[in-house]
Amino acid sequence: MEYLNYILLALVVIFFIQRLIPTKGVKNISTAELKAELKDKNKQFVDVRTPGEFKGNHIKGFKNIPLQQLTTMANQELSKEKEVVVICQSGMRSQQASKVLKKLGYTNITNVKGGMNAWN
């Protein structure tokens, strides 16, 4: 029985580590670096927070596609030909969003580290 507890603990640890490890092939930038990129018309800026969070505070030029709707809306709203820059509140949901976009076939993805919490 104790053996099962170790296996369960190991699975939980692996689950959380996978969420923290950056996605292979996804670039990570700081909010300072983001400021320099906001004027680039060849990039698509996506905020994956909820509509309420987005309405409360967002960066001009970002489109709100909540994480829960990303799988269904990405191909309608985003081009695979352009870089996708993803932000959320802390950087966790945008990291998940980067993984979702990767699975959907997007190849040029950038995650904003620290999210809106790091934005001044």
Contact 46, 62 (CB under 8 A): yes
CA distance 4 to 8: 6
The residues with which 112 forms a beta bridge, in sequence order, are 29
Is 88 considered catalytic here? yes
b/e map of 49-87 (b: 16 or more CB within 10 Å)? Answer: bbeebbeeebbeebebbbbeebeeebeeebeeeebbbbb
Selecting among 88, 97, 101, 112, the annotated active-site residue is 88
Which positions are catalytic?
88
